[in-house]
Amino acid sequence: MSSRPPEPSLAPAGAPEKARLGIWTFLATEVLLFGGLFTAYTVFRIAHPAQFHSDYLQLNRLFGALNTVVLICSSLSVAIGIAAIRQGKERALQRCLIITLLLAAAFLGIKYLEWSDHFAHGIYPRTSIFFALYYTMTGLHALHVMAGMGALTTMLVLARRGKFSAEYSTPVEITGIYWHFVDLVWIYLFPLLYLIG
Amino acid sequence: MAAYRIYFVVWGGLVLLTGLTLAVSYVNLGLGNVAVALLIASAKASLVALYFMHLRHETRLVIAFALFPLFFLSLIIGGTLLDTMFR
């Protein structure tokens, strides 16, 4: 954080500051919602290292990595869409929103395959503390993906009605910040659940 | 096109770091695995927050709003661990 003033030229339209403060305040509550689960994970991981080690090996880390890349791509398409509407490119924004929605659906599809595979092997939330945390954390995250898809769909409908332009893109900007947050949570869930044991 | 290029560069960095953290997870470093995985995750999180979420060009007030919950999160995790580890 240097002392230079913000560079308004880099955010031609953007959202007004009050809108940005609003979404970041909401995200603060989200950090604490997931934070409780991250705290539980840390406490139980320290208390049961052997169980965490044997359980995490049952997850397929390639699925986890694939889903990480899927979410990163979806974040890219949101960012591109916002950059496009800031230049007034409505069609590009619509295309980016559709790509993002498809990637979000792909993420949930892969998650569905993983969960059904666990169920087929008799792994349930009651199996162990690790899997109780695994299902709760990935489940809560999946709910956030669904909520994000709802918001992105709303943006797509509004974009098709021509509501957004280079001068006004606030709802898209704010939805984008929320979507990147969903990506952020997964960036931490992936190593904690799939990679370290 | 210039407006989009930075996003593609950041995306490339995120994909590379994902590959790196996956590769390192196959090497047994003991507790080092935890440190490396969390370090890489934090690098990726910073890239997303700074570029995709535009924090790099944000006002000081918005940056403060974004960082404040992390302070509370560290209090919650730190305080809980002080209780459970030294009980």
pLDDT per residue as tens digits for the range B37-66 = 999 999 999 999 999 999 999 999 999 999
Percent of the residues in chain B that have a pLDDT greater than 90, as a whole number: 87
Q: Which of A170, A147, A118, A172 is nearest to A13 (CA)?
A: A170
- Chain A residues in contact with B70 (beta carbon < 8 A): 31
Query: A161 burial class (0-12, 13-18, 19+ CB within 10 angstroms)?
Result: exposed
How far is Cα B16 from Cα B31, in angstroms, rounded to an integer? 23
Interchain CB distance below 8 Å, A195 and B59:
no
- Say what the pLDDT of residue A36 is: 96
Q: Which of A175, A143, A146 is nearest to A158 (CA)?
A: A175
Contact A174, A133 (CB under 8 A): no
B87 — contact with chain A (CB < 8 Å)? Answer: no
Interchain CB distance below 8 Å, B48 and A180:
yes
- Say what the pLDDT of residue A1 is: 45
Confidence bin at B85 (pLDDT 50/70/90): confident
Option in B21, B62, B80 nearest A43 (CB): B80
Contact A103, A77 (CB under 8 A): yes
| pTM (whole model) above 0.90 | yes
Q: What letter represents residue B66's amino acid? A: A
Residue B1 has pLDDT above 90, yes or no: no
Give me the mean pLDDT over the B75-85 stretch. 94
Percent of the residues in chain B that have a pLDDT greater than 70, as a whole number: 98
**What is the distance in angstroms between the Cα of B9 and the nearest Cα belonging to chain A?**
10
Option in B22, B76, B81 nearest A61 (CB): B22
Range of weakest confidence among A49-58, A69-78, A142-151: A49-58
How far is Cα A43 from Cα B80, in angstroms, rounded to an integer? 8
Interchain CB distance below 8 Å, A191 and B41:
yes
Give me the mean pLDDT over the A160-177 stretch. 96
State the angle between helix axes of A17-47 and A49-56 in degrees (0 to 180), rounded to the nearest 10. Answer: 110
Residue B22 has pLDDT above 90, yes or no: yes
Helix (H) or strand (E) holding A14: none
- Say what the pLDDT of residue A179 is: 98
How far, in Å, are A105, B26, B81 from residue A18 at the CA level?
31, 46, 36
Give me the mean pLDDT over the A114-128 stretch. 95
Chain B interface test: which of A3, A72, A183 (most B C-beta within 10 Å): A72
- Say what the pLDDT of residue A8 is: 47
Interchain CB distance below 8 Å, A28 and B14:
no
Percent of the residues in chain A that have a pLDDT greater than 70, as a whole number: 93
> What mean pLDDT, rounded, does chain B reach?
94
Option in A21, A46, A72 nearest B62 (CB): A21
- Say what the pLDDT of residue A13 is: 57
- Say what the pLDDT of residue A14 is: 82
Residue A71 has pLDDT above 60, yes or no: yes
Interchain CB distance below 8 Å, B41 and A187:
yes
How far is Cα A50 from Cα B44, in angstroms, rounded to an integer? 28
How far is Cα A139 from Cα A151, in angstroms, rounded to an integer? 19
Residue at token pair 């899927």? A70
Contact A65, B22 (CB under 8 A): yes
According to DSSP, residue A16 is labeled -
**What is the distance in angstroms between the Cα of A183 and the nearest Cα belonging to chain B?**
8
- Say what the pLDDT of residue A117 is: 95
Give me the mean pLDDT over the B1-28 stretch. 93
Contact A148, A182 (CB under 8 A): yes
* Residue of chain B whose alpha carbon sits nearest to that of A11: B57
B82 — contact with chain A (CB < 8 Å)? Answer: no
Complex confidence, ipTM: 0.94
**Quick count: other Cβ atoms within 10 Å of Cβ A137?**
21
- Say what the pLDDT of residue A114 is: 96
How many residues are present in chain A? 197
Give the CA radius of gyration of chain A: 19
* Residue of chain B whose alpha carbon sits nearest to that of A14: B54
Option in B11, B45, B63 nearest A184 (CB): B45
Confidence bin at A10 (pLDDT 50/70/90): very low
- Say what the pLDDT of residue A128 is: 94
- Say what the pLDDT of residue A41 is: 96
